[in-house]
Amino acid sequence: MRPITTQTLFSLQFSGDPQFSPDGQSIVYVKTTINQEENKYQSQICKYDRKTGRDIPFTQGLAQDKLPKFSQDGSYLAFVSTRSGTPQLFVMLTDGGEPKQLTFFKKGVKSYSWMPNNQLVVAARKDDANEKSDVRVVNTLRYRGNGYGFYGDEPIHLWLVQVDGSGPQQITDGNFDETDPTVSPDGKKIAFVSWREENQVEVTPSLYTVDLDTGLIDLTYQGKGSVSHPVYSPNGKWIAFFGHEHGEDSGYNTELWVVSTGSGEARSLSRSLDRPVGNQVGTDARYETAEVSPIWDMDSQKIYFTATHEGDVYVYSVTLDEKIQKETPGDTQVVTSFSYHSGVIAYAKETPASPAELYLQQNKEIQQITYHNTPLFKSLTVSVPERTKFQARDGLEINGWLLKPPGFSSDQRYPLVLEIHGGPHSSYGNTFLHEFQVLANSGYIVLYTNPRGSHGYGEAFVRGSIGDWGGKDYEDLIDAVDAVARLPYVDRNNLFVTGGSYGGYMTNWMVAHTHIFKAAVTQRSICNLHSMIGTSDIGFWFNVKELDGADIWEDEEFILSRSPIRYANRVQTPVKIIHSEEDFRCPMEQAEQWFTALKRLGVETELVRFPNENHDLSRNGQPEHRVERLDHIVGWFNQYLGNKE
């Protein structure tokens, strides 16, 4: 058996986005591998035949092929591929053959949907005719996005394209983005998500429908918060979508809604679940390619969706009269994507011991159908985490996990690393976490928890950090460390801490408020909530919402009082700062401020700058950079590991 190391990353495989063929006999899915030599990811569409059990590559997989969708008659498979540079729409016959490129948008395709008559509707940004100079003239608040770059002047619109390659024909216009098209069963209407107001401070999109005969656009559902992933019911009477009514705010449960295409009546079907739809469980061992939308049963009475529950993600179903049922059994799973066909669910499932593999479930029988990671994992010392619970000082129950080194013995004492997730409204859960396995395989116990502010424990819990960053969330984490440090096998003289984004904020806050940690690594972190309002791609709404409306002009003192930079002169813990130079979410200036302050104050510190990487370095950065990042984390902790106080 070999330990899991930073280099193990190169051998991981990620499967997801299963899609049934219309006859239900085959399933296509996306498999992503890492090409170490070329330092890049390669995603390939594979096809699994349910009768023969044969699993074959369907596209060449030298670039990134994703979002496979069968045409309604099953004769074509469309997918988005970067093989010509940017993500463009391709189509091929399901019998095989060469894929044909259907779109040539400069900035690529965002999403698409099949029409009943073998046409497709595509959401794509119009080519920017004014792009003559490399100088950028900016006049909107939302002019760039982390991981995307600068948006340019042209909005996203809907276009019709034909399988023979003719088109694209533009079908919506105006100075606003239009995304997530869904086609009515008769092919006469397209519903889509759009924000058609001038105010760009808080975006609360709505659902619109365009009539393809007249070109007229109707407001179908007036959004008051988030609206995404609309899908027509097979009888055309409803559109299901994900949304909430609380403005632009990630600190609420997004729910499954339906709107009647006749009366316009809209209601949430999943409110009583009190859980957010979709997968809110983070990991560094996933390569996200799927867009997971609600899926209707053929009778138009039931909808399938995923939701996050206490560190797990399950498939659920809900009827139009709001009867909710958990569909995937068991309690240790993170379903990242799924498809449904006549009583059968195909789903991609992560567990603490493996990245996602595909499963089929029929009549309560579960069959694993891919084993891409199995040979590798049989040869590795994988540690399986133990679920644990803590009581915060105010009595609130906090969930967590302890990942012990392989070969753990309770007679020994082990150093401990506290890992803190970001968001703050993300969560940890029952998924495979490469970084944590590397630490456990290096001899550390890893403690990871879901303090208040995390998703998956109800709306009251997720709102527990609002207006209180560094308050009770900090206490929850410290209370968990206190409880674990009392265990006989934990070496309380060797406690370490790390986290990214909001987790990096909390790492910075911790070293400024306690001296219990031997060393810290702060990643893509926040130290100054005041400057971040103006420099992050989302700062102008996100920071204000997270601090419960506090803004620069009225609440400067409060904002700075919750910013670690104010307390930098209390830090004694050695801090390594890891940051990406193209991070538009928590911009590089945050790391620069923290580094300069700590250096001036004589704290042991080091700044590691990753060029050509954004906020998602740990999840989808260049593979070599990801390995180097992990080496920096383990190396820093090892450097300070010892028995001295």
Ligand X SMILES: CC(=O)N[C@@H](C)C(=O)N[C@@H](C)C(=O)O
Q: Output 341 or 425, the one with its CB closest to ligand X.
A: 425
607 Cβ contact partners less than 8 Å away, ≥ 6 residues apart? 577, 579, 591, 592, 595
Instruction: Give the count of beta carbons closer than 10 Å to the beta carbon of residue 575.
Output: 27
Q: Least separation, in Å, of the C-beta of 426 and ligand X?
A: 4
Query: Which residue reads 């997971």 in tokens?
Result: 292
Q: What is the DSSP letter of 567?
A: G
Q: Near ligand X by CB under 6 A, which window of 342-350, 465-473, 499-507, 565-573?
A: 499-507
Least spacing, CB of residue 632 vs ligand X, in Å: 17
Can you read off the two tokens belonging to residue 257?
Answer: 């809604």
- Helix, strand or coil, per DSSP, at residue 501: coil
CB 480 within 8 A of CB 398: yes
Which of 26, 206, 293, 501 does the annotation list as catalytic? Answer: 501
Cβ distance to ligand X smaller for residue 361 or 501: 501
How many other CB atoms are found less than 10 A from the CB of residue 354?
Answer: 20
Question: Which of 162, 168, 163 is closest to 75 using CA atoms?
Answer: 163
What is the rounded CA–CA span in Å between residue 29 and residue 369?
A: 11
Q: What's the rounded Cα separation, in Å, for the pair 559 and 340? A: 47
Please tell me whether residue 225 binds ligand X under the rule CB under 6 A.
Answer: no
Shortest approach of ligand X to residue 194 CB, angstroms? 22
CB of 542 to ligand X, least distance (A): 6
115 or 281: CB nearest ligand X: 281
Nearer to ligand X, 76 or 542 (CB): 542
In the complex with ligand X, the residue whose CB is nearer, 13 or 465, is 465
CA atoms within 13 A on the CB side of 43: 24
Residue number with CB closer to ligand X (178 or 583):
583
Closest distance of CB 469 from ligand X, Å: 10
Q: Give min distance, CB of 252 to ligand X, in A.
A: 13
How far apart CA 525 and CA 586 sit, in angstroms, is 6
Q: Catalytic site residue 442?
A: no
**500 near ligand X, judged by CB under 6 A:** yes
Closest residue to ligand X using C-beta atoms: 422
Q: How far apart are CA 599 and CA 323, in angstroms?
A: 58
Mark residues 410-429: x for contact with ligand X by CB under 6 A, - for none.
Answer: ------------xx--x---
3-state secondary structure 140-178: CCCCEECCCEECCCCCEEEEEEECCCCCCEECCCCCCCE
Phi and psi angles of residue 320, each rounded to the nearest 5 degrees, phi first: -65, -20
Task: Point out which span in 153-161, 229-237, 441-449, 497-505 binds ligand X (CB under 6 A).
Answer: 497-505
Contact 616, 625 (CB under 8 A): no
Q: Is residue 544 classed as helix, strand or coil in its secondary structure?
A: helix
CB of 552 to ligand X, least distance (A): 18
State which of residues 125, 463, 615, 632 lies at the interface with ligand X (CB under 6 A).
615
| Nearer Cβ to ligand X (125/585) | 585
Question: Which backbone phi and psi does 511 adopt, to 5 degrees?
Answer: -65, -20
Task: Give the C-alpha separation, 384 to 387, whole Å.
Answer: 10
Give the distance from CA 71 to its chain's centroid: 27
Q: What x/- string results for residues 558 through 587 when contact with ligand X is judged by CB under 6 A?
A: ---------------------------xx-
Backbone angles phi, psi at 119, to 5 degrees: -100, 170
Q: Which two tokens stand for residue 350?
A: 């992560």
CA dihedral angle for residue 535, residue 540, residue 541, residue 547, rounded to 10 degrees: 90
Nearer of residues 248 and 604 to ligand X, judged by Cβ:
248
What is the smallest separation between the CB atom of 502 and ligand X, expressed in angstroms? 3
Q: What residues numbered 510-549 form the site for ligand X, per CB under 6 A?
A: 542
Q: How far is the CB of 498 from ligand X (least distance, A)?
A: 12
Gap between the terminal Cα atoms of the chain: 35
Segment contacting ligand X by CB under 6 A, of 304-312, 449-457, 495-503, 555-563: 495-503
Beginning with the edge strand found earlier in the chain, give each strand of the sheet holding 266-268 in spatial order: 226-232, 238-244, 255-260, 266-268
Question: Which range, of 208-216, 335-343, 498-506, 550-558, touches ligand X by CB under 6 A?
Answer: 498-506
- Count residues binding ligand X (CB under 6 A): 11
> Closest by alpha carbon to 613, among 524, 504, 505?
524
Segment contacting ligand X (CB under 6 A): 28-36, 174-182, 265-273, 496-504? 496-504
**Active site annotation includes 501:** yes
As measured in angstroms, the least distance from the Cβ of 586 to ligand X is 6
Please compute, for residue 533, the number of CA atoms within 13 A of its CA located in the half-sphere on the CB side: 21
Q: Which of 244, 246, 425, 615 is catalytic?
A: 615
Question: Considering only residues 6, 250, 383, 399, which one is a binding residue for ligand X as defined by CB under 6 A?
Answer: 250
Give Cβ neighbours of residue 481 (< 8 Å, ≥ 6 apart): 416, 418, 447, 495, 516
Nearer to ligand X, 126 or 452 (CB): 452
C-alpha dist (Å) from residue 2 to 11, 354, 380: 13, 16, 5
Of residues 172, 498, 501, 605, which one binds ligand X by CB under 6 A? 501
Closer of 16 and 503 to ligand X (Cβ): 503
Give catalytic residue positions: 501, 615
Contact residues for ligand X (CB under 6 A)?
250, 422-423, 426, 500-502, 542, 585-586, 615
